[in-house]
Amino acid sequence: MLEIQTKIELFENCLLSQNGSYADAMKEEIHDYFFVNMGDEKDIGNFSFLKELKNLIDIENKVNGLVSKLIMNEHHAGIDDLIYEYTF
């Protein structure tokens, strides 16, 4: 089982990886939500959803699932609201 700090780093790396698709814009929104907008308020508790994930594949699947949900629902609610809903 990975330590939470390692999971956070892997999560950030997944969000920073790009493949030239619209999903890149969603990953950037998620990255900003967790790593930019929180500023000095970053707290391990904000990443509690990572506790259930066991490895890099689980983290990648979580990112991909979150990106898919954001793309499907971005016109119905604010991006920040959707990220919060699907991670907390």
pLDDT, mean over the chain = 87
- pLDDT surpasses 60 at 75: yes
| C-alpha neighbours within 13 Å on the C-beta side of residue 74 | 14
Q: Cα–Cα distances in Å, from 41 out to 19, 36, 64, 77, 82?
A: 30, 10, 26, 24, 20
- pLDDT surpasses 60 at 86: yes
Question: Domains of the chain: which residue ranges?
Answer: 4-87
The stretches of 1-88 forming alpha helices (DSSP H) are 4-16, 23-31, 56-73, 79-87
Top-confidence range, 7-11, 39-43, 76-80: 7-11
Give dist(CA 18, CA 32) in Å, integer.
15
Can you tell me the mean pLDDT for 27-53? 83
